[in-house]
């Protein structure tokens, strides 16, 4: 019976906690977050609606020593990292020039909100000698390769490619009700998810997610865009949770193997088909697709989030379109961003956004 530590108990953290509490193999959940009231309320609700032991812990997850101490004390079998300094949805509905420009630039410009907590968690895992799996929800398609450059890559990411897989399966159920679903393998990047969720098929076939069916990897990319449309917003969260929970269950000790698609396995950019077994993750690419080809595709698609390239030391360079989006009010936001500059850039964002 397993212990799972969930860091960050916002809407997604609580959804994943509730799903894990229903897993037969989970005996104990440790919920950790900055707000004691929020964490305690989530823990009380989950404890009252499941047979799982639930512990609430106040934690500033940017404090590496505190996270390391919690890892040693709780000895989790799985760590689920859901925390960020600001939610990706935090600017939803804002119409001021600054917010519109930063949204148009792509999520990569907000890396200073997405990277620091997961970076601290991975440093804490190293400090504590924790060798179990870590699943990261915070912009994994881009934070994963940055962390890999530091020797700190989580086991895998959550959401994104798995959400596309869920959408494909929904389209298949509609097309063939009652039929046994085929094996679905997805190659795709976070920037492509919005078109998938809104059922907007890109005109250029090269810009579509790649969908591979059955063992032979038959291409059916259009299926990614055939499920009912969902406008961007927190309604995506149930789909994200449904994409993540099979992965988390498969990472538990003694779990059955799983073939799925996830972002950032082993710190790679974008999302890939994987096999999860015995707590380890391996790529599960279809016949004829090489790792180099898969990575090159996801790196190209990552430009939709504003990432031109990531250097070997983790420095992020932004695309011309990203730079143009903020050129009129804060061109410095799109200067190359090194890992050690995240705090200063976050402060700059805070000053602009309020």
Nearest to 312 by CA among 203, 196, 150: 150
Q: Tell me what the pLDDT averaged over the chain comes to.
A: 97
Q: What pLDDT sits at residue 1?
A: 84
pLDDT one-digit tens code per residue, 163-208: 999 999 999 999 999 999 999 999 999 999 999 999 999 999 999 9
Rounded CA-CA distance 121/116 in Å is 9
Asked if 297 and 192 touch (Cβ cutoff 8 Å), the reply is no
Q: Pick left, alpha or beta for residue 262 (phi over 0 → left; psi -120 to 50 → alpha; otherwise beta).
A: beta
Residue 209 scores a pLDDT above 90: yes
pLDDT one-digit tens code per residue, 5-45: 999 999 999 999 999 999 989 999 999 999 999 999 999 99
pTM for the whole thing?
Answer: 0.97
Q: What pLDDT sits at residue 324?
A: 98
Backbone angles phi, psi at 290, to 5 degrees: -90, 160
Burial of residue 55, with CB atoms counted within 10 A of its CB: 0-12 exposed, 13-18 middle, 19 or more buried: middle
Neighbour order of strands in the sheet with 184-187: 184-187, 210-213, 218-219
pLDDT one-digit tens code per residue, 238-283: 999 999 999 999 999 999 999 999 999 999 999 999 999 998 999 9
Q: What pLDDT sits at residue 279?
A: 86
Tell me the sheet residues that pair with 29: 4, 54
Q: How many Cβ atoms are within 10 Å of 88's Cβ, its own excluded?
A: 17
Asked if 115 and 40 touch (Cβ cutoff 8 Å), the reply is no
CATH dotted code for 1-158+254-354: 3.40.50.720
Q: What pLDDT sits at residue 176?
A: 93
Nearest to 297 by CA among 212, 188, 205: 188
Asked if 3 and 74 touch (Cβ cutoff 8 Å), the reply is yes
β-strand pairing of 280-283 with 271-277: antiparallel
């Amino acid at each position: 019976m397993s212990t799972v530590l969930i860091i960050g108990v916002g809407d997604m953290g609580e959804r994943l906690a509730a799903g894990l509490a229903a897993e037969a193999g989970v005996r104990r959940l440790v919920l950790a977050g900055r707000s004691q009231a929020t964490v305690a309320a989530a823990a009380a609700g989950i404890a009252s609606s499941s047979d799982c032991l639930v512990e609430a812990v106040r934690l500033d997850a940017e404090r590496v020593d505190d996270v390391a101490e919690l890892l040693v004390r709780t000895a989790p079998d799985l760590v689920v990292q859901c925390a960020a300094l600001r939610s990706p949805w935090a600017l939803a509905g804002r119409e001021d020039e600054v917010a519109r420009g930063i949204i148009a630039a792509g999520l990569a410009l907000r890396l200073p909100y997405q990277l620091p907590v997961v970076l601290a968690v991975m440093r804490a895992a190293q400090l504590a000698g924790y060798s179990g799996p870590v699943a990261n929800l915070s912009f994994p398609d881009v934070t994963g390769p940055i962390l890999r450059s530091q020797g700190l890559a989580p086991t895998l990411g959550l959401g994104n490619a798995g959400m596309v897989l869920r959408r494909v399966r929904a389209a298949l159920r509609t097309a063939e009700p009652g039929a046994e679903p085929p094996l679905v393998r997805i190659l795709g990047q976070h920037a492509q998810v919005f078109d998938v969720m809104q059922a907007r098929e890109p005109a250029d076939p090269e810009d579509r997610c790649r969908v591979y069916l059955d063992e032979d990897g038959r291409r059916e990319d259009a299926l990614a865009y055939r499920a009912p449309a969902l406008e961007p917003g927190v309604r995506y969260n149930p789909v994200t949770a449904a994409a993540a929970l099979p992965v988390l269950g498969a990472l538990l000790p003694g779990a059955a193997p799983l073939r799925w698609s996830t972002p950032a396995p082993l710190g790679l950019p974008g999302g890939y088909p994987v096999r999860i077994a015995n707590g380890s993750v391996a790529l599960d690419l279809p016949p004829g697709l090489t790792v180099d080809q898969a990575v090159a595709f996801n790196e190209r698609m990552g430009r939709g989030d504003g990432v031109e390239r990531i250097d070997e030391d983790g420095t992020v360079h932004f695309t011309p379109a990203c730079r143009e989006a903020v050129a009129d009010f804060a061109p410095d936001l799109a200067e190359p961003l090194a890992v050690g500059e995240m705090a200063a850039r976050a402060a700059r964002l805070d000053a602009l956004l309020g």
